[in-house]
Amino acid sequence: MTDCIFCKIITGDIPSTNVFRDELVTAFRDLHPAAPTHILIVPNKHIDSINALENRDEPLIGHLFTTARQLAAREGIAEGGFRLIINTNADAGQTVFHLHLHLLGGAPMKHPMG
């Protein structure tokens, strides 16, 4: 998608602080962190949101979560605790329509959001 911010981050056309990349996903630090650690983990292929998921995406979605586990350990927040969030559409506050998993941690959080 040519007008998608996260597609441009994945291709390197928009700069970001990347923390992980493999054939399926890319992870980078959120521009406006809501916690001491705030990383976005995104599929390398464009998917608008959870609403656009297909059954064949199941391994990809699993990989988003195992990447989150790996990055939480690397960031030193696995034991203290962390929160994973996927916002979908307006009521949840989704602002970027390229599916992304928020990894938040590093300080105690309030419910329901960090």
Q: Is-contact 78 66, C-beta < 8 A?
A: no
Q: Does 1 bind Zn ion (CB under 5 A)?
A: yes
Task: Verify whether residue 100 is a known catalytic residue.
Answer: yes
Closest alpha carbon to 24 in 70, 53, 67, 60: 60
Query: What does 30 interact with, of Zn ion, ligand 5GP, none (CB < 5 to 8 A by kind)?
Result: ligand 5GP
- At a CB cut-off of 8 Å and minimum separation 6, what does 107 contact? 35, 36
* The two structure tokens encoding residue 62: 């699993």
**Diameter over CA atoms, the chain:** 39
Query: What does 109 interact with, of Zn ion, ligand 5GP, none (CB < 5 to 8 A by kind)?
Result: none
Q: What order of strands is seen across the sheet that includes strand 18-21?
A: 18-21, 25-29, 37-43, 101-105, 82-85
Query: What does 96 interact with, of Zn ion, ligand 5GP, none (CB < 5 to 8 A by kind)?
Result: ligand 5GP
Looking at residues 47 to 86 of the shown chain, list those that interact with ligand 5GP (rule: CB under 6 A): none
Looking at residues 30 to 49 of the shown chain, list those that interact with ligand 5GP (rule: CB under 6 A): 30-32, 40
Rule CB under 6 A: which residues touch ligand 5GP? 5, 14, 16, 28-32, 40, 87, 93-96
Q: Which residues are catalytic?
A: 100
Binding site for Zn ion (CB under 5 A): 1, 4, 6-7, 46, 98
